[in-house]
Structure 1
């Protein structure tokens, strides 16, 4: 039997930045997608998705000529076949986990990474691979293959584990101190709107930067400073101005968080302040946070959380709170009292 366990992820700083070529800080948490598989002496994969009560079969000899949008099982096979993956043996798989679906914790990317790890483990693959490479193949399968608007943060952070600063232009990752503090995840119960929010964020952000580069061809977003918002805003069409503000200031927040998380003993209260500043931009400029979730996070902060933010693309989904061990239960109760579907402690994990 083959057993694969792949974690969920949380983006702590840099949401809606990776598709602009700007860095993010994200970490893998102890919620998992699990695959258990046994050979079935057949020419197909029989996949049982236990959590949603469905199953499907994939022929080992599928031509992959008509892959349906969002079919990451087939797109992942197509990507790996470009690197000489050979499907030689059929398996029966059971897939289940405790990552909430459509809640911003990247259950879909965790499943894609888990599927790729299964294929590499169970089939003939002539090349070696690293965790970073697994993340890149998952990014190719989910985003590039279908020309979708997301970035690479989800796949890279899930595949590599720990808490990392990801340079999204190069894919290089820097390990950070996992001593953020105590973490609480709350599920709002509101479905997120991934592609709609990501598409708007990406198009508006890229158009804002493009309008500046049309006048200053040597401008590089990775060199932007806080005062560049005012310096260049007269060049940005009004429709994109809020996303220009978000791009500049979220970038500064991410850099400050990286500096703090490279210390031997990071200050959780300072990191909470940075998280709150990031959330204010997400809800005011990116406009990805429903009023109900704003109320839940306000209650968590009043209950003692140092910082709170929405997780993932937004429009719904989950939230994370950075708090102290002594205030953990109070923060959980605050989320629940304001209508959260569930709330619980999570921990950052290494692979």
Structure 2
């Protein structure tokens, strides 16, 4: 039997920045997608999605033409074939997990990473592939293959584990101290609107940046500071100014969080405040946070959370709270204000 797993992920700082080639700070948590597989004699992958009660069948001889949007099993096979992988026997595969679906914890990317790991594991000639490369291949299969608007944060974080500062321009990852130890995740029960939110946020941010670059060709976003927001504001068309603000100040928050997390003993209260500042921008400028979730997060802060934010692209889904020692009170606050579920999670290096 072959068994592989991949964790969920939380972006703590830098949401809606990776598709602008700006850095993010994200971590893998102890919620997982699990794949178990045994060989069969049918020359096909028989995939049972246990949590959904669905089954998919893919012939190992599938020509992989006209792959439907979102068919990550076939896109994963197709991408690996371009790197010389071959598939010569079938497997009966069961997939199940503890990651809530369509909730912002990146269950789809966890599935993609786990699937890539499985496809590597079944090669007749063993191939040594590092975690960063697995993240890249998963990104190619999930985002690039279907020309979707997301960045590479999810796949890179899930494939490498731990808490990472990811330079999305160079694809370099820097491990950070795991000071974000006491975490609570709450499920709002509201479905997220990933592609709509991502598309709008990406297009508006890019158009704001393009306006600045047209007027000032030497402008370098990676050297931008908060002062540049006001400096170039009159150049940016009014409809993109809110996202221009989000671009500049979210970047600054991420750099501050990185600096704090690189200290011998990071200050969790500072990290909590930076999380709150980030959420304020997501809520007011990118406008990805429903009113119901705002009320839940305010309740968590009142219960003693140091910081709270929405997870993922937004529009619904999950929230995270950074705690000191009061996780139980925070979970109760989320639940009494409408959350579907709330539980403690931990950062994990298990991949």
Q: TM-score, normalised by structure 1?
A: 0.99
* Cα distance in 2 for residues equivalent to 1:208 and 1:75: 33
Aligned equivalent of 2:186: 186
* Cα distance in 1 for residues equivalent to 2:58 and 2:124: 17
Alignment of 1:200-239 (within 5 A): 200-239=200-239
Moved over 2 A (4+): 123-128
- Alignment check: 8 A CA contact 1:46 1:56 kept: yes
* Cα distance in 2 for residues equivalent to 1:313 and 1:302: 25
- Alignment check: 8 A CA contact 1:20 1:206 kept: yes
Query: How many Å apart are 1:263 and its aligned residue?
Result: 1.4
Aligned equivalent of 1:94: 94
* Cα distance in 2 for residues equivalent to 1:228 and 1:58: 52
* Post-superposition CA distance 1:185-238 (Å, at most 9, x none): 000000000000000011001111000111111111111001100000111011
- Alignment check: 8 A CA contact 1:86 1:125 kept: no
* Cα distance in 1 for residues equivalent to 2:279 and 2:169: 24
**Partner secondary structure for residue 233 of structure 2:** helix
Aligned equivalent of 1:285: 285
What are structure 2's unaligned runs of at least 5 residues? none
- Alignment check: 8 A CA contact 1:180 1:266 kept: no
* Cα distance in 1 for residues equivalent to 2:33 and 2:127: 25
Query: How many Å apart are 1:127 and its aligned residue?
Result: 4.8
* Cα distance in 2 for residues equivalent to 1:162 and 1:150: 21
Query: How many Å apart are 1:265 and its aligned residue?
Result: 1.2
* Cα distance in 1 for residues equivalent to 2:251 and 2:125: 39
* Cα distance in 2 for residues equivalent to 1:125 and 1:248: 48
- Alignment check: 8 A CA contact 1:186 1:341 kept: yes
* Cα distance in 2 for residues equivalent to 1:127 and 1:51: 30
Q: 1:212 to 1:124 in 2, by over 3 A?
A: farther
- Alignment check: 8 A CA contact 2:193 2:314 kept: yes
- Alignment check: 8 A CA contact 2:181 2:347 kept: no
- Alignment check: 8 A CA contact 2:46 2:56 kept: yes
- Alignment check: 8 A CA contact 1:104 1:314 kept: yes
The alignment of Structure 1 onto Structure 2 pairs a total of residues equal to 350
* Post-superposition CA distance 1:145-200 (Å, at most 9, x none): 11100000000000000000000011100000012241000000000000000000
Aligned equivalent of 2:275: 275
Aligned equivalent of 1:313: 313
- Alignment check: 8 A CA contact 2:10 2:311 kept: yes
**Partner secondary structure for residue 22 of structure 2:** coil
* Cα distance in 1 for residues equivalent to 2:214 and 2:128: 43
Aligned equivalent of 1:169: 169
Deviates more, 1:336-345 or 1:261-270: 261-270
Aligned equivalent of 2:105: 105
Aligned equivalent of 2:198: 198
**Partner secondary structure for residue 16 of structure 2:** coil
* Cα distance in 2 for residues equivalent to 1:260 and 1:233: 29
Query: How many Å apart are 1:5 and its aligned residue?
Result: 1.2
Give me the CA root mean square deviation: 0.8
Q: TM-score, normalised by structure 2?
A: 0.99
Aligned equivalent of 2:345: 346
Query: How many Å apart are 1:128 and its aligned residue?
Result: 3.0
